[in-house]
Amino acid sequence: MTIPIFAEHVPPALTGEADLECALRKLRARHHGLLVATLGPLGALALEGDRVHHAAAYEVEATDTTGSGDVFRGGFVFGLLQGWPVDRVLRFANAAAAASCTRLGAINGAPSAEDTHRLVETGRLRQ
């Protein structure tokens, strides 16, 4: 299974569509599976079939964003392996990325599954 996870600027650059959702829908012609775009402090967006999922980012005091995209992808894969629905996978991946931003460095910044679950349960979402 291949699930492209793009930074938010990539789908518009690939398709010429300025609107991210439209760009993901245009990419649907080349990839019929799940498509995901990370939105930084705005969370993440996924296109599953014709359904769009948006998960807000968590409010954290960011110290260092190094590696947060990689941590998002790790959290995303973790959620998929749990068999969670896309909405829950996105929330968990966002929480993992947010938690990583509260620590210095890419390797030291990777949170545990427990830390990530705690942020999902108790964290504030950005409005």
For 14-43, the pLDDT digits (tens) are 999 999 999 999 999 989 899 999 999 999
Contact 41, 104 (CB under 8 A): no
pTM for the structure as a whole: 0.91
- CA separation for the pair 27, 50 (Å, rounded): 12
- CA 110 to the chain's CA centroid: 15
pLDDT tens, 72-123?
999 999 999 999 999 999 999 999 999 999 988 877 778 888 888 888 888 8
Residue extents of the structural domains in the chain: 5-122
Catalytic residue among 19, 64, 70, 115: 70
Instruction: Specify the CATH number of the domain 5-122.
Output: 3.40.1190.20
70 is catalytic: yes
115 contacts: CB under 8 Å, gap ≥ 6: 99
